[in-house]
Structure 1
Amino acid sequence: METTTTIDPAEVAKFEAMAAEWWDPAGKFKPLHMLNPCRLDYITAQIAAQFGRDLKAPAPFAGLRILDIGCGGGLLSEPMARLGAEVVGADAAERNIPVARLHAEQSGLTIDYRHCAAEDLAATGERFDVVLAMEIIEHVSNPQGFTDTCAALLKSGGLMICSTLNRNPKSWLMAIVGAERIMRWLPVGTHDWTKFITPDELFGLIRKAGLDPMDRKGMVFNPVTWGWKLSDRDLSVNYVTASVKR
């Protein structure tokens, strides 16, 4: 029986073409390198709160099984492994996996990287304490199907953290015109503004999948400090959500 997939082949091809540059902070993934500390602040705080972990303790995520969907070169998988978690990194872009494996090996980390779709993992019955779906839902062919799969991959009481881009004139100006066409942070065409998802739409997808939304915050770029910070109010462009399986 063939597994139904939400993979969009055209989107996978975009990231296949950039695979070699994952760990170059000045390369095509420069925006993610810049955003990563902000993402990690949110992710680690949410996991610690959900599972009662002390982030100052050695290996605070020991005993937790974390899935990083759309792991790319491992920018999030590696920090999770350093915090003690058992990490599976999955990506539909085949060329990303050897890049991620090599970097993890060079960093002395054990991470289970797999070239597969989220649906493939769900079909095997694998379950996780945490599912990270960061900057991926705007690249899939069926957002509800993808969210349903994320929910299926979670254990009861498990945590899903999902980030994406809001859909409004400001996000088109910032993410499409600014990031792709003016700053050249990303190749033109990396994002399709029509596939961006508003926070209320995402919460709707999450609830329909059987998860309870717990939190959402904006990730805001400051051109003065040239850095990102979390915001309780400004979800106008980049934002991140946390939800728990009932």
Structure 2
Amino acid sequence: MLNASIDPDEIEKFSALADEWWDTEGSFRPLHKLNPTRLSYIRDNVFAQFRRHSKMNTPLEGIRVADIGCGGGLLTEPMARLGAEVVGFDASERNIMVARNHSQRMCLDIDYRLATVESVVDAGERFDVVLNMEVVEHVAHFDRFLEACCELVSPGGMMFVATLNRTLKSFAFAIAGAEYLLRWLPRGT
């Protein structure tokens, strides 16, 4: 098995916030606000790649999706509603528990697993779409993590990666502004 790229401090931090995933006014408020935009981008690109269209009831039926670092399932659930077979992975047991409970209340069939990306690679699983959204900034070994994520993508598949830019402007807005001044995000996230 590849050495896990997880950062135990980051897992602990997000485990402590797990009960807030579905609170639209809580710590994850910015993700709730961003979600429609990023979902639209992902959906449109997946539709194009796999020749699907929005007129279908479940346009992503037959598409296998992995949501790496799924947290409480904020992106996992909309993908399942589009008909995809979605597997959400997270290294936080608390996050997985919150995600499972919420998806059950929403009557969604989502496979949530406590796992690292490396353990999923070792199991030989592959996916048509890999979502790697706002995760890379929280891992201990970026190169190792991204390499493992790439191994999850099936031939002809695609991966989406999103993270904050490492620029002074991004630091000023996302960290100084959102975490310390406006308190939209918990400090250190």
Mapping for residues 129-140 of structure 1, pairs under 5 Å: 129-140=128-139
1:56 is displaced (CA, Å) by 2.4
- The one-letter code matched in structure 1 to 2:165 is N
Mapping for residues 191-210 of structure 1, pairs under 5 Å: none
Q: Percent sequence identity over matched residues?
A: 56
- The one-letter code matched in structure 1 to 2:72 is G
Alpha-carbon RMSD across the aligned residues, in angstroms, is 0.8
Which protein, 1 or 2, shows the higher relative CO under an 8 Å CA cutoff with sep ≥ 6?
2
Corresponding residue of 1:90: 89
Q: Distance in 2 between matches of 1:64 and 1:155?
A: 11
Q: Judging by fraction of residues, say which structure has more helix.
A: 2
Q: Which runs of 4+ in 1 moved over 6 A?
A: none
Mapping for residues 11-50 of structure 1, pairs under 5 Å: 11-50=10-49
Q: Distance in 2 between matches of 1:166 and 1:155?
A: 27
1:52 is displaced (CA, Å) by 0.6
- List alignment gaps of at least 5 residues for structure 1: 191-246
Q: Distance in 2 between matches of 1:146 and 1:172?
A: 23
TM-score normalised to the size of structure 2? 0.98
Mapping for residues 164-175 of structure 1, pairs under 5 Å: 164-175=163-174
Q: Judging by fraction of residues, say which structure has more strand.
A: 1
1:3 is displaced (CA, Å) by 4.2
Three-state SS of the structure 2 residue aligned to 1:162 is strand
Three-state SS of the structure 1 residue aligned to 2:113 is strand
Mapping for residues 183-198 of structure 1, pairs under 5 Å: 183-190=182-189
1:144 is displaced (CA, Å) by 1.4
Task: Work out the number of aligned pairs and report it.
Answer: 189
Three-state SS of the structure 2 residue aligned to 1:95 is helix
TM-score normalised to the size of structure 1? 0.75
Alignment deviations for residues 114-136 of structure 1 (CA, whole Å, 9 cap, x no partner): 01101110000001000000000
Q: Distance in 2 between matches of 1:151 and 1:172?
A: 27
